[in-house]
């Protein structure tokens, strides 16, 4: 067990966790921010141009879905078997192998996609653990410092992302040598640059793992609950299956309906793809089963302690919040796919170091690093002085609305491009600024909010669901993309006078505004809890 921090003091082990996160985020975003352009310019070069862009976008969002799906596994390993530290360490090693495999497989689809799978497993598996691990280092005596550390945690994430977004894309800027043999086209990678674009992130992931390991003797390690008879899943199962006399079992019927819906969703894999169909099936089942548990949860009382039943209810209440945040993630993650593809059709500023539209991604973390201290030092105190209480839920709701504004702006740019006019890529700075402000309000706030709303033994579960909301957000993207491929839908879009990309942009903007309104309605009724551990 690590040394406890003195009352009211910042835990001395926090710098190790933050240093690990900075290097890991450089690794992840360095790889992620060149992924779309690498797929289009190298790995999928055998496809025709329109098909190549659509395929690259699909691969990107399937990968992101995987990254945010595997937190379910990481949360379970952390809470039930390994604890947070060992889960992070072991899956970081898997992560390192995946990054190395990308660098070694730039000419092999099989090897490259295997590397993406291992990165999704490693990166996704540690996600619910790292932020919860930060929270575990605090107690009631110093919890007032937790928000500052969560903000610093999010700031350092973007510190790593900024330098990755700025420095890695130029490594892909050199055009590959294309050799045409008859009707077949293949790419000869006679330059080391693609390997370097993935090799540098691989080295940084090794550094991140070493930093985490170096602080091993200092951490507060909350032990897992391996044989807990009152675990989240067991309470839910009891609630669904325990008879309720004359009241019947409406919750169980709802859960069974979710099972039927999940099977129907699996049948959509020829249209959506296997990964998207599996995620859709899981989402459908969780929505219906969660509703069923809510209806019958009190039936678990007597069989399980009241505090465990109340803990499940607390998680279910927060899941509604998470569901309403999913549209935000559908907008946010497309900045590394749809916005890059738009940027590729725009003109670069001609600066010597600016070699790729993907480098516009650096604006996002740079603005985050500026906005987090600005909000805490200037904006929030100013609003409070005016009598406006800036609660976490209000921040998150406004963040969703700002993401919608960002997509109105980027859609307006697309209309100009569709009209045949060339635009400088720097015009994307406005939508990036709006989207980043929304991100700070939603994501930085959501990390601390999610941790605070769960009882101690359910923190990993809740953090897993927070990550799963990102998977669902990317699922919306794939559903919309699959829909617009229909000749009927694409013809209707054309008759309305829009290009497909512009139509999708306006659609996602409207999606965000509807979600923001629904979020505001639910937030009015939500009672905020406090589940920080006692000193």
Render each residue's pLDDT in the chain as its tens digit; 535 residues.
Answer: 444 444 567 788 888 988 998 899 999 999 998 898 899 888 888 887 778 888 888 899 999 998 988 888 888 888 778 889 999 999 999 999 999 999 999 888 999 999 999 999 999 889 878 877 887 887 777 777 777 777 777 778 878 888 888 888 888 765 444 444 445 555 444 444 578 889 999 999 999 999 999 988 888 888 887 667 888 889 999 999 988 766 688 999 999 999 999 999 999 887 777 888 888 999 999 999 999 999 999 999 999 999 999 989 988 998 999 999 999 999 999 998 999 999 999 999 988 788 888 899 999 989 988 888 898 889 989 998 998 888 889 999 999 999 999 999 999 999 999 998 999 999 999 999 999 999 989 987 887 787 778 777 787 677 778 888 998 999 999 888 888 877 888 888 888 888 889 999 999 999 999 999 999 999 988 887 766 555 5
Q: Which two tokens stand for residue 179?
A: 């050799």
User: CB of 409 within 8 A of CB of 434?
Assistant: yes
Residue matched to tokens 């003195």 = 6
Burial class (CB in 10 A: 0-12, 13-18, 19+), 239: buried
Please report the pLDDT score of residue 48 as a whole number: 79
User: CB of 37 within 8 A of CB of 169?
Assistant: yes
Please report the pLDDT score of residue 50 as a whole number: 72
Backbone torsion region of residue 512, taken as left when φ is above 0, otherwise alpha when ψ lies between -120 and 50, otherwise beta: alpha
Q: How many CB atoms lie within 10 A of CB 233?
A: 12
* Sign, Cα dihedral of 196, 200, 201, 206: positive
**Strand boundaries in 13-62, DSSP class E:** none
User: CB of 135 within 8 A of CB of 81?
Assistant: no
With CA atoms as reference, report the closest residue to 435 among 501, 500, 341, 338.
338
Distances (CA, A) of 146 to 3, 11, 150, 152, 502: 18, 10, 6, 10, 41
User: CB of 509 within 8 A of CB of 407?
Assistant: yes
Distance CA 317, CA 332 (A): 24
| Beta bridge mates, 301 | 304
Please report the pLDDT score of residue 520 as a whole number: 94
| Angle subtended by helix axes 109-136 and 14-38, to nearest 10 | 150
Alpha helices, DSSP H only, in 39-145?
49-69, 71-76, 83-104, 109-136
Please report the pLDDT score of residue 190 as a whole number: 44
Distances (CA, A) of 46 to 114, 177, 180, 183, 337: 19, 13, 10, 10, 20
Please report the pLDDT score of residue 176 as a whole number: 46
Residue matched to tokens 């976490």 = 392
With CA atoms as reference, report the closest residue to 290 among 461, 450, 126.
461
With CA atoms as reference, report the closest residue to 193 among 207, 177, 180.
177
* Sign, Cα dihedral of 6, 10, 12, 13: positive
Residue matched to tokens 């603005």 = 367
6: which DSSP letter? P
Alpha helices, DSSP H only, in 220-273?
232-241, 250-266, 269-272
Q: How many CB atoms lie within 10 A of CB 423?
A: 16
Please report the pLDDT score of residue 452 as a whole number: 79
* Sign, Cα dihedral of 52, 57, 58, 59: positive
Distant-in-sequence, close-in-space partners of 332: CB < 8 Å, separation ≥ 6: 403, 435, 438, 439, 443, 473
Distance CA 142, CA 519 (A): 31
Q: How many CB atoms lie within 10 A of CB 246?
A: 4
Distance CA 9, CA 144 (A): 10
Distance CA 311, CA 157 (A): 30
Distance CA 458, CA 467 (A): 14
Distance CA 300, CA 317 (A): 17
Distance CA 535, CA 440 (A): 30
Distances (CA, A) of 119 to 155, 266, 293, 456: 23, 25, 33, 28
* Sign, Cα dihedral of 523, 525, 526, 528: positive
Distance CA 84, CA 167 (A): 32
Q: How many CB atoms lie within 10 A of CB 386?
A: 7
Pairing of strands 184-188, 177-181: antiparallel
Distance CA 121, CA 94 (A): 8
């Amino acid at each position: 067990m690590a040394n406890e921090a003195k009352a009211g003091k910042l835990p001395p082990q926090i710098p190790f966790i933050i240093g690990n996160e900075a290097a890991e985020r450089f690794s992840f975003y360095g790889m992620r921010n060149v992924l779309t352009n690498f797929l289009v310019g190298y790995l999928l070069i055998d496809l025709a141009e329109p098909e190549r862009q659509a395929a690259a976008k699909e691969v990107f969002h399937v990968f992101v879905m995987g990254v945010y799906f595997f937190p379910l596994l990481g949360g379970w390993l952390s809470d039930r078997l390994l604890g947070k530290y060992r889960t992070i360490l072991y899956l970081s090693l898997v992560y390192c192998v995946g990054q190395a495999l990308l660098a070694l497989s730039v000419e092999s689809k099989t090897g490259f996609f295997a590397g993406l799978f291992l990165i999704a497993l490693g990166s996704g598996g540690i996600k619910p653990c790292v932020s919860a691990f930060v929270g575990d280092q605090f107690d009631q005596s110093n919890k007032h410092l937790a928000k500052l550390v969560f903000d610093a945690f999010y700031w350092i994430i973007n510190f790593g992302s900024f330098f990755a977004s700025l420095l890695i894309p130029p490594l892909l800027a050199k055009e590959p040598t294309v050799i045409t043999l008859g009707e077949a086209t293949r790419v000869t990678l006679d330059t080391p640059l693609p390997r370097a674009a993935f090799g540098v992130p691989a080295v940084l992931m090794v550094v991140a793992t070493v930093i985490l390991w170096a602080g091993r003797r200092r951490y507060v390690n909350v032990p897992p609950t391996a044989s807990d008879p009152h675990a989240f899943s067991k309470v839910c199962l009891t609630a669904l299956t325990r008879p309720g006399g004359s009241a019947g079992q409406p919750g169980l019927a709802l859960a069974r309906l979710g099972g039927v819906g999940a099977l129907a969703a699996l049948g959509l894999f020829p249209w959506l793809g296997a990964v998207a169909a599996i995620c859709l099936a899981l989402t459908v089942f969780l929505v219906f089963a969660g509703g069923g548990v809510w209806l019958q949860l009190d039936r678990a009382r007597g069989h399980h302690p009241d505090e465990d039943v109340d803990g499940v209810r607390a998680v279910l209440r927060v899941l509604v919040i998470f569901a309403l945040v999913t549209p935000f993630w559908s907008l946010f993650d497309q900045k590394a796919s749809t916005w890059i593809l738009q940027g590729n059709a725009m003109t670069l500023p001609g600066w010597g170091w600016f070699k790729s539209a993907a480098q516009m991604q650096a604006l996002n973390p740079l603005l985050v690093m500026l906005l987090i201290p600005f909000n805490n030092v200037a904006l929030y105190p100013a609003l409070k002085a005016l009598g406006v209480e800036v609660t976490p839920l209000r921040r998150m709701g406004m963040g969703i609305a700002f993401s919608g504004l960002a997509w109105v702006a980027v859609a307006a740019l697309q209309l100009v491009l569709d009209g045949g006019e060339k635009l400088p890529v720097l015009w994307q700075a406005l939508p990036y600024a709006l989207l980043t402000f929304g991100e700070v309000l939603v994501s930085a706030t959501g990390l601390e909010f999610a941790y605070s709303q769960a009882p101690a033994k359910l923190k990993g579960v809740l953090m897993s669901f927070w990550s799963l909301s990102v998977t669902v957000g990317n699922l919306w993207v794939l559903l919309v993309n699959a829909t617009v491929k229909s000749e009927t839908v694409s013809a209707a879009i054309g008759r309305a006078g829009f290009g497909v990309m512009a139509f999708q942009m306006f659609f996602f903007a409207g999606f965000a505004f509807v979600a923001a309104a629904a979020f505001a309605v639910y937030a009015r009724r939500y009672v905020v809890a406090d589940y920080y551990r006692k000193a």
